[in-house]
Amino acid sequence: MTTATFLIQYLNALQYGLLLFLVASGLTLIFGIMGVINLAHGSFYMTGAYMAYALAPWVEGHLGGGFFVTLAVGVILAVALGYVLEWAFFSYLHEREHLQQVLMTYGLILVFEELRSLIVGDDVHGVKAPEWLAGSIPLGDVMTYPVYRLFMSGVCIVLALAMYWLFRHTRLGMRIRAGSTNREMVQNLGIDVSRLYRVVFAGGVALAVFAGMLAAPVSSVYPGMGNQVLIVCFVVVVIGGIGSIRGALLASLLIGVVDTFGKVLLPQAAGVLVYVLMALILLWKPGGLFKAG
Among 63, 80, 111, 191, binds another protein (CB under 8 A): 111
Q: Does 114 bind another protein (CB under 8 A)?
A: yes
C-alpha span between 204 and 37 (Å, rounded): 12
Q: Does 121 bind another protein (CB under 8 A)?
A: no
Least distance from C-beta 104 to another protein, angstroms?
5
C-alpha span between 240 and 251 (Å, rounded): 5
DSSP assignment string, 151-214: HHHHHHHHHHHHHHHHHHHSHHHHHHHHHHH-HHHHHHTT--HHHHHHHHHHHHHHHHHHHHHH
Of 110 and 265, nearer to another protein (C-beta) is: 110
Least distance from C-beta 252 to another protein, angstroms?
15
Q: Does 142 bind another protein (CB under 8 A)?
A: no
Sign of the dihedral defined by the CA atoms of residues 180, 181, 186, 191, in that order:
negative
Q: Which of residues 61-100 bind another protein (CB under 8 A)?
A: 89, 92-93, 95-96, 98-100
Among 58, 62, 63, 107, binds another protein (CB under 8 A): 107
User: b/e map of 23-54 (b: 16 or more CB within 10 Å)?
Assistant: bbbbbbbbbbbbbbbbbbbbbbbbbbbbbbbb
| Residues 6 or more apart in contact with residue 223 via CB below 8 angstroms | 46, 113, 116, 117, 122, 124
Q: Are 293 and 182 in contact (CB under 8 A)?
A: yes
Least distance from C-beta 164 to another protein, angstroms?
25
Among 2, 91, 117, 182, binds another protein (CB under 8 A): 117
Q: What three-state secondary structure class fits 144?
A: strand
Stretches 31-39, 51-59, 179-187, 254-262: which one binds another protein (CB under 8 A)? 31-39
Of 40 and 202, nearer to another protein (C-beta) is: 40
Of 70 and 252, nearer to another protein (C-beta) is: 252
Least distance from C-beta 212 to another protein, angstroms?
20
> Binding marks (x or -) toward another protein, 252..291, rule CB under 8 A?
----------------xxxxx--xx-xx--xx--xxx---
Phi, psi of 125 (to 5 degrees): -120, 150
Q: Are 201 and 85 in contact (CB under 8 A)?
A: yes
C-alpha span between 92 and 96 (Å, rounded): 8
Of 172 and 231, nearer to another protein (C-beta) is: 231
Of 5 and 100, nearer to another protein (C-beta) is: 100
* Residues at the site binding another protein, with contacts judged by CB under 8 A: 31, 35, 37, 39, 89, 92-93, 95-96, 98-100, 102-104, 106-111, 113-115, 117-118, 227, 231, 234-235, 237-238, 242, 268-272, 275-276, 278-279, 282-283, 286-288
